[in-house]
Chains A and B, each alone.
Chain A
Amino acid sequence: MTEEIIIAGFGGQGVLSMGKILAYSGIMQDQEVSWMPSYGPEMRGGTANVTVILSDDRISSPYLKVFDTAIILNQQSMDKFEESVKPGGILLYEPNGISHHPKRTDINIYQIEANKLSTEMGNKKIFNMVVMGAFLKIKPIVELENVIEGLKKSLPERYHDLIPLNKEAITKGMESVTPYMAEQVAN
């Protein structure tokens, strides 16, 4: 199994940390992982993206052109990465702030209203874990218990009391993800 993922959005949305938690989850189940961020000046308040690969085999290129899954959290990233999803692949996006919805019909598209859900749950910092839950519902490539282990590894110990809340956010994401048909906005 090899899963090639791009996570893209604004700096501050937890894009890089979501990738890191996913990578750690992969390590917890004995997989090879890579996490390749964009680290340019665009990080400062602009767009941020990270390529995460989980594989049972040695990983070749950590830098890719096409992906099995694109997790897209803002319009700029949608413009940049919609075309980068492999045919038959997955595009998961947060519709808040998206004016041009995806148009492709050869991929599987899903929405997760992580902004609304995390606000309702009273902590916007768990936004990325709602998205993570949505992704894991569509593609259960890592076990929930390994994600929790991954959270423990990547969060500083002083935040470990927030792990139950993060788990709740993942569950919420799993329950709330919905398929999206590009045809709906064809005209």
Chain B
Amino acid sequence: MSELKLMKGNEALAEAAIRAGVDAYFGYPITPQSEVIEYLMTERPEERTGMVVLQAESEVAAINMVYGAASTGKKVMTSSSSPGISLKLEGISYLAGAELPSVIVNVVRGGPGLGTIQPSQADYFQSVKGGGHGDYKLYVLAPSSVQEMADFVEDAFDIAFKYRAPVLILSDGLIGQMMEKVNLKEQQVRLTDEEVIKLNGDWATTGKTKNRERNIITSLDLQSEKMEARVRRLMKKYEQMEQEDMRYEEFQTEDAEYLFVAYGSSARIAQKAVQLARAKGIKAGLLRPITLFPYPKKVLFDLADQVKGILSVELNAGQMVEDVRLSVEHKVPVEHFGRTGGIIHTPEEVLEALEQKFIK
């Protein structure tokens, strides 16, 4: 039975993980996402579903526990916030290289360095432009509500197993800390090894049987031809993600003359800015990328024929704006607006920025 609750984004994500039948969570506390591990520890999911929840000794340990557990074909996840994700990046690159389905959650805080504990979206580059080393990408989901914090857990695992690849849920302190109404899904049963094999193939290290070769999970290939083949295989997956699993949402774009592009918490604020603009007679609209990779390039390219200017609204000094510019190929002026340091822009500020840059 589904259930209506008032929850923080971080708690909703944690509860959704238990209900999605996740096998294991490994993490290390850091503000503003500590509620994830706190909630999991309090709920004792080992009693509810048999899910393992472990506080590792560090972020590096946690991500390598994810690597190990994911090798067995289990549903495994970790979460952290910006500085912690930086520590996990080596492991994330290995997960991508070894083609291990897994889910990583980043509840972003301001940086660089230890920065601030307040909300930020300054990890866009880190999330979609590599972050770790090597030719890889992460499928990146950007929730903009508590409901999506819950829903995206299952969505992320679906993608992770469809492509045998790590998936990132890129949230931020605002979405993580705020409470909203959330509709929780029914409890799912965790899969047995046999079900894992049946559903996802027999690539995982579930124990060698007589009639197959040993499964070796590694990101290392010293033979160049083999390594190149692996990279090509990864690129093919990313191409398929672009074709089949790109997600976005439009808000009042039909007749828009000016367009905000914003994801996550900024999309909520920009949506209010659209309402304020419309009340003043300015025809504004919003495009919200739900996946940051794959990015809604074609949608933006087409919208560029219709609008006079695009404002990329982000809680950072200007990161996603580069992808907006690449997408529209100079058809229309593209500007950035955003606050940093943990300050959240108000809808009024966002509208004022649009007016200053394009209208006044």
Contact = CB atoms under 8 A, between A and B. Distances in A.
23 contacts: A20-B6, A23-B6, A24-B6, A27-B6, A27-B181, A32-B180, A36-B177, A39-B117, A39-B118, A39-B173, A39-B177, A60-B274, A61-B268, A61-B271, A62-B178, A62-B180, A63-B265, A63-B268, A63-B269, A64-B347, A65-B348, A65-B349, A154-B6
Given A37-B177, A61-B273, 18 more contacts: A24-B6, A27-B6, A32-B180, A33-B6, A34-B178, A34-B179, A36-B179, A39-B173, A40-B118, A40-B342, A59-B180, A60-B274, A60-B347, A61-B268, A61-B346, A62-B178, A62-B265, A62-B268
A172 B203 CA distance: 67
Contacts of A39: 32, 117-118, 173, 177
Interface of B: 4, 6, 32, 117-118, 173-174, 177-181, 265, 268-269, 271-275, 342, 344, 346-349
A6 to B, nearest CB: 12
Contact of A61 (B6, B32, B117, B269): B269
A63 B180 contact: no
A20 B268 contact: no
B15 to A, nearest CB: 15
Given A34-B180, A37-B177, A40-B118, A60 B275 contact: yes
A65 B346 contact: yes
A20 B269 contact: no
A101 interface: no
Query: Which 7 A/B pairs are nearest by Cβ-Cβ distance?
Result: A61-B272, A65-B346, A60-B271, A35-B179, A60-B272, A61-B269, A36-B178
Contacts of A37: 177-178
> Which of A40, A60, A64 gathers most chain B CB within 10 Å?
A60
A66 interface: yes
Contacts of B272: 60-61, 64
A61 B260 CA distance: 14
B77 to A, nearest CB: 23
Contacts of B177: 36-37, 39
A35 B180 CA distance: 6
B181 A33 contact: yes
B58 to A, nearest CB: 24
Interface residues on A, range: 20 to 34
B179 A20 contact: yes
Contacts of B274: 60
Contacts of A23: 6, 179
A39 B118 CA distance: 8
Contacts of A66: 348
B6 A60 contact: no
B181 A32 contact: yes
A62 B174 contact: yes
A20 to B, nearest CB: 7
A153 interface: yes
A33 B347 contact: no
Contact of A35 (B178, B269, B346): B178
Interface in A12-53: 20, 23-24, 27, 32-37, 39-41
Interface string A118-134: 00000000000000000
Nearest to B8: A35
A34 B349 CA distance: 21
Contacts of A61: 268-269, 271-273, 346-347
B344 A63 contact: yes
Nearest to A23: B6
A64 B273 CA distance: 11
Nearest to B118: A40
Contact of A33 (B32, B180, B265): B180
A36 B174 contact: yes
A33 B346 CA distance: 19
A36 B268 CA distance: 13
A70 to B, nearest CB: 15
Contacts of B273: 61
A32 B268 CA distance: 14
Contacts of B117: 39-41
Nearest to B7: A35
